[in-house]
Amino acid sequence: MRTRRRLRAVCVAVLCVIFVVGLFAGTVSPYSYSKQFRERPNAAPSSSHLLGTDSLGRDLFARLIYGTRVSLLLAPAAALLATLIAGLLGGFAGFMGGWCEKLILSAADLSMALPLLFVLLALRAVLPLDIPPILSVIATFILLGLLGWPSSLRVVWAATKNLKNSDFLLLARATGCTRWRMIARHVLPNLRPILLAQFWISIPVFVLTEATLSMLGLGVTEPLPSWGNLLRGLEDISGVSANPWRLSPLILLVLVVICFQLILPAQEETA
Amino acid sequence: MPSPSPLKKKLVLISLLAFALPARAQTGGELHFCLRGEPKTFNPILVDDDASENIRYLTGGVLIRLNRQSQALGPALATSWSVSHDRRTITFHLRKGIHFSDGTPFTSEDVAYTMRLLMDPETHSPTGDAFRSSEGAVQVQTPAADVAVITFPAPIAGLERLFDQVAILSAHSPKKEMAVLGPFYVADYKAGSYVLLHKNPNYWKHDAQGQALPYIDSVRLDIQRNRDIELLRFRRGELQLINRLEAEQFERLQHDNPAVTRNAGTGLDAEELWFNQSPAAPLPEYKKAWFSTKEFRKAISLAINRADLCRIVYAGYAKPAYGPVSPSNHFWFNASLEDPKYDPQVALNLLTQAGFRLDNDTLKDRAGNRVEFTIVTNSGNAAREKIAAMIQQDLSQVGIKVNVVTLDFPSLIERITRTFDYDACILGLVNTDLDPSGQMNVWLSSGENHQWNPSQKTPATAWEAEIDKLMREQATAATEKERKGKFDRVQQIVAEQQPFIYLINKDVLVAVSSNVVGAAPVVLNPAGFWNVDILRLGPASEFGVQK
């Protein structure tokens, strides 16, 4: 237990450092993420370019930390949105029951049946073209948040259903406790660990979904970097073996996903 | 002294021939390479995709063959031909004593049968579309077994060249389109896996020593969409040819084994940028005004560093594009066109003349609108995405803000052909035809592929009207020289008006194993195996296992 706590502290520290570097990317980075040093494409790491340059001669270190800002700030925002929707609808369905429950669960099932990738493709296609890249990114993450709630909803709904049938809620109802007081004082505090777990689980999922979308050229658009579009540089495997520093976005992504997984409360802690 | 017996004479001749051939070359063997997709048809008159086109080239016998190296037409199944002065009638004199792969004799009746099928509207032949100059039936007369006279209802530009695509079918063979006159015939096909071609025992061509061609016994075409796997298999020695390589792949291969890489030169295909000038476009009026201003388009062209595009995006395996015709198209390229220039200062001067002004590194128009537009291109094409990112930086030097949006292909096509809801687009133009008549649908203002403003009822501008007139005139001109003069003027107008801003022409990059003797890749399709009938295979590949 103690080891786990220590490990969790290390993970939190690592995530905090990465977050802070991403947040102050403009100060930390020596160059703009879009500046092309055309005389130095695919350059090896040097004192002027710590991680070398990409195929267009852009500083890879600058792109990595700006990409961190995009991926690590927007993925939690999308996770928060998805968890809030799941918490509200799941809690409501579980607590109210009846036709309301059936309707919400059917909607969740329908959403889960939709192929997320194609829905995102279609939605991106109908977005106006002249929106700036940063708005396009925000729109992408909002879409991820709006479409990513159904699996969390099922968990929240099941937990609420259990709570509703619990002895302490029966007792509260017997003592004349109002419905809203029961939700505020008894249901929500008991759902908190589940909602938190869903939130932490969703962050790496959204980071990876954005990475997948960018790998397909549909997420964050040029010249704005994200971990996803930085990972596209790995498509050329032999290029990577020649320039192994191109693996840095992948290493960072793996590190962040592992850290998020390790800081999640253990099952026995949430129980 | 007794004269040598005929058998001895033959043996001596064979021995001499063996010494005359390159030391490593031999006849027979199997050439192995890949198709990038499933062939949709083996019927040569229905060909509409690259894979089927390759099969048609390898199996089809044509009356006239375009020599891919010299770009000149030469006799094939027809020993000679003549075109009437009005360019409506072509008379072929056919080779005698030729048979299809199944033994059925070849006569002028087969030519008539092929033309009837080709021009039958029910057949929906894409090859036949090129011959449909106007309403009316095509007449085919066969005054003799070795003479065919074909008369079209209207003159056709470059008529004889079109026959390079017409593989003759047998009118009498029970095997229908599987009976062929080309060097190979389809022996086996497994959907999604391979097409196996065997040597046609009745192929009409012989080498200078009288030996029957082709030298190779069979060609195995594996169906493989993944280019990395194709390259890996080539490196392992499992394939002997890669017909077209991407610049990155080519460079990697050249690094490992330069002997197997062949750069055939600047290809016909171009990458281009254009602005949406459609009046139906749901764009603000000020943007429509920018895009329809000649100086604006010329300034954009001047501000793009094409040399950098070639060097960085294509690793140097591309050339800055002059215009609609690549310099590799020897006859039709207008050599008097100026080199594409890169000069941001001149671009800025042009913009100033057109009423734009630079305000704190931001370009604004007369009304004070910031000059900002979005370039769309198809997602998943790394080269185009890089081009767009580089143009983004180039144009920022003249104060223009460019956004880049990648869309999946169907959405992109929807925008550029139906809704016209886009500012500018980068796409590639695939040029399979040397003759300008193949580009009619691009240059005529009524054409659907007149991308900057398609399907116009009447030409929107005077210069488009002039292009319409010149394109129609070149199509009916009596001589090639006259046609060339008119198309040169079209290229001049395009260079002046820049409706398409041509960016680069990619090099044609081919990989040929060192055991393939006689390969001479060219820029025209099929680049690596255009002379398949004289290719020979030597001992096992020297590339061997991957280094």
Q: Residue B435 is which amino acid?
A: D
- B114-153 tens-digit pLDDT: 999 999 989 888 888 888 767 788 999 999 999 999 999 9
> What distance lies between CA A11 and its chain's CA centroid?
17
What residues in B contact A215, CB-CB < 8 Å? none
Predicted local distance difference test score (pLDDT) of residue B546: 37
Report the pLDDT averaged over residues B501-512.
Answer: 96
pLDDT band, residue B21 (cuts 50/70/90): very low
What residues in A contact B232, CB-CB < 8 Å? none
Strands B424-429 and B372-378: parallel
Residue of A255, A244, A246, A247 whose CA lies nearest to A207: A255
Report the pLDDT averaged over residues B418-435.
Answer: 88
Residues B79, B532, B201: CA angle, nearest 5 degrees: 70
The phi and psi torsions of B512 (rounded to 5 degrees) equal -130, 125
The phi and psi torsions of B10 (rounded to 5 degrees) equal -60, -45
- What is the rounded distance in angstroms from the CA atom of residue B167 to the CA atom of residue B111? 9
pLDDT band, residue B338 (cuts 50/70/90): confident
Q: With the C-alpha atoms ordered B106, B111, B113, B114, is the resulting torsion angle positive or negative?
A: positive
Tokens for A57, please give them: 């001669």
Residues B219, B220, B224: CA angle, nearest 5 degrees: 140
Lowest mean pLDDT among A196-205, B244-253, B286-295, B458-467: A196-205
Report the pLDDT averaged over residues A210-237.
Answer: 74
Identify from A53, A124, A130 which residue to disrupt to test chain B contact, counting B C-beta atoms within 10 A and taking the largest count. A130
Residue of A133, A152, A112 whose CA lies nearest to A218: A133
What residues in B contact A239, CB-CB < 8 Å? 248, 252
Q: Residue B130 is which amino acid?
A: A
B89 sits in which H/E element: strand B89-94
**Contact between chains at B392 and A232 (C-beta distance less than 8 A):** no
Q: With the C-alpha atoms ordered B303, B307, B313, B319, is the resulting torsion angle positive or negative?
A: positive
- What is the rounded distance in angstroms from the CA atom of residue B547 to the CA atom of residue B510? 19
Could you check whether the bond before residue B214 is cis, i.e. omega within 30 degrees of 0?
yes
CATH number, domain A2-270, options 2.60.40.10, 1.10.3720.10, 3.20.10.10, 3.40.50.800 = 1.10.3720.10
Q: Are B317 and B509 spatial neighbours (Cβ–Cβ below 8 Å)?
A: yes
pLDDT band, residue A217 (cuts 50/70/90): low
**Contact between chains at A218 and B408 (C-beta distance less than 8 A):** yes
Predicted local distance difference test score (pLDDT) of residue A126: 73
Predicted local distance difference test score (pLDDT) of residue A36: 94
Rounded to a whole number of angstroms, the distance from the CA of B338 to the nearest CA of chain A is 26
- What is the rounded distance in angstroms from the CA atom of residue A95 to the CA atom of residue B542? 74
**Contact between chains at A56 and B308 (C-beta distance less than 8 A):** no
Q: Which residue do the tokens 């001749």 mark?
A: B13
Strands B218-223 and B194-199: antiparallel
Residues A203, A209, A213: CA angle, nearest 5 degrees: 145
Distant-in-sequence, close-in-space partners of A99: CB < 8 Å, separation ≥ 6: none
**Contact between chains at A221 and B380 (C-beta distance less than 8 A):** no
Q: Are B150 and B90 spatial neighbours (Cβ–Cβ below 8 Å)?
A: yes
pLDDT band, residue A218 (cuts 50/70/90): low
Q: Is B403 on the interface with A (CB under 8 A)?
A: yes
- A50-89 tens-digit pLDDT: 988 888 999 999 999 999 888 888 888 889 999 999 999 9
- Cβ neighbours around B4 below 10 Å, total: 11
The phi and psi torsions of B59 (rounded to 5 degrees) equal -115, -25
Q: Are A203 and A76 spatial neighbours (Cβ–Cβ below 8 Å)?
A: yes
What DSSP line would sit under B389-453, residue for residue? HHHHHHHHTTT-EEEEEEE-HHHHHHIIIII---SEEEEEE----SSGGGGHHHHSTT-TT-TTS
Rounded to a whole number of angstroms, the distance from the CA of B32 to the nearest CA of chain A is 24
Q: Work out the angle between the directed axes of helices A98-113 and A150-164 (0-180°, nearest 10).
A: 150
DSSP B499: S
Average pLDDT, chain B: 90
Predicted local distance difference test score (pLDDT) of residue B181: 97
- What is the rounded distance in angstroms from the CA atom of residue B419 to the CA atom of residue B375? 16
- What is the rounded distance in angstroms from the CA atom of residue B377 to the CA atom of residue A145? 27
Helix (H, G, I), strand (E, B) or coil at A71: helix
**Contact between chains at A129 and B389 (C-beta distance less than 8 A):** no
Residue B158 backbone zone (phi > 0: left; psi -120 to 50: alpha; other: beta): left
Residue B284 backbone zone (phi > 0: left; psi -120 to 50: alpha; other: beta): beta
- Cβ neighbours around B28 below 10 Å, total: 11
What DSSP line would sit under B229-272, residue for residue? HHHHHHHTTS-SEES---HHHHHHHHHH-GGGEEEEEEEEEEEE
Report the pLDDT averaged over residues A10-25.
Answer: 91
Q: Which residue do the tokens 């180039």 mark?
A: B394
What residues in A contact B283, CB-CB < 8 Å? none
- Cβ neighbours around A209 below 10 Å, total: 23
**Contact between chains at A36 and B404 (C-beta distance less than 8 A):** no
Distances (CA, A) of B183 to A33, B101, B473, B520: 56, 9, 38, 18
- B199-235 tens-digit pLDDT: 999 999 999 999 999 999 999 999 998 888 999 999 9
**Contact between chains at B392 and A34 (C-beta distance less than 8 A):** yes
- A134-170 tens-digit pLDDT: 777 787 788 888 888 888 899 999 999 898 888 888 8
Residue of A3, A206, A199 whose CA lies nearest to A85: A199
Reply yes or no on whether the pLDDT at B2 is more than 50: no
Distant-in-sequence, close-in-space partners of B291: CB < 8 Å, separation ≥ 6: B275, B276, B277, B283, B297, B423, B424
pLDDT band, residue A237 (cuts 50/70/90): low
Half-sphere exposure of A208 (CA within 13 A, CB side): 12
Strands B184-190 and B194-199: antiparallel
- Cβ neighbours around B396 below 10 Å, total: 16
Half-sphere exposure of B480 (CA within 13 A, CB side): 10
A268 sits in which H/E element: helix A267-270
Predicted local distance difference test score (pLDDT) of residue B367: 95
Q: Is A265 on the interface with B (CB under 8 A)?
A: no
What residues in B contact A237, CB-CB < 8 Å? 228
Residue of A203, A195, A170 whose CA lies nearest to A91: A195
Helix (H, G, I), strand (E, B) or coil at B212: strand
Q: Is A132 on the interface with B (CB under 8 A)?
A: yes
**Contact between chains at A222 and B392 (C-beta distance less than 8 A):** yes
Closest to B379 (Cβ–Cβ): which among A36, A131, A216? A216
Reply yes or no on whether the pLDDT at B376 is more than 70: yes
Helix (H, G, I), strand (E, B) or coil at B148: strand
Q: Are A25 and A65 spatial neighbours (Cβ–Cβ below 8 Å)?
A: yes
Predicted local distance difference test score (pLDDT) of residue B24: 47
pLDDT band, residue B317 (cuts 50/70/90): very high
**Contact between chains at B374 and A121 (C-beta distance less than 8 A):** no
Half-sphere exposure of A140 (CA within 13 A, CB side): 30
Domain ranges of chain A: 2-270
Residue of A133, A26, A12, A150 whose CA lies nearest to A74: A133
Predicted local distance difference test score (pLDDT) of residue A181: 87
Reply yes or no on whether the pLDDT at B297 is more than 70: yes
- What is the rounded distance in angstroms from the CA atom of residue B107 to the CA atom of residue B99? 9
- Cβ neighbours around B176 below 10 Å, total: 10
Residue of A137, A129, A127, A122 whose CA lies nearest to A227: A137
Burial class (CB in 10 A: 0-12, 13-18, 19+), B274: buried
**Contact between chains at A56 and B252 (C-beta distance less than 8 A):** no
Predicted local distance difference test score (pLDDT) of residue B11: 44
Lowest mean pLDDT among A122-131, B67-76, B255-264, B478-487: A122-131
- B153-208 tens-digit pLDDT: 988 888 899 999 999 999 999 988 899 999 999 999 999 999 999 999 999 999 99
Lowest mean pLDDT among A161-165, B21-25, B480-484: B21-25
Predicted local distance difference test score (pLDDT) of residue A138: 81
Task: Tell if the pTM clears 0.90, that is, is over it.
Answer: no
Closest to A217 (Cβ–Cβ): which among B312, B385, B422? B385
Predicted local distance difference test score (pLDDT) of residue B480: 86
Interface contacts (A, B; CB < 8 Å)? 73
- What is the rounded distance in angstroms from the CA atom of residue A163 to the CA atom of residue A220? 41
Predicted local distance difference test score (pLDDT) of residue B486: 95
- Cβ neighbours around A263 below 10 Å, total: 16
Average pLDDT, chain A: 84
Predicted local distance difference test score (pLDDT) of residue B19: 40
- What is the rounded distance in angstroms from the CA atom of residue A187 to the CA atom of residue A195? 12
Distances (CA, A) of B317 to B159, B250, B430: 34, 9, 17
More confident of the two residues B34 and B133: B34
**Contact between chains at A217 and B386 (C-beta distance less than 8 A):** no
What residues in A contact B381, CB-CB < 8 Å? 217
More confident of the two residues A198 and B12: A198
B223 sits in which H/E element: strand B218-223
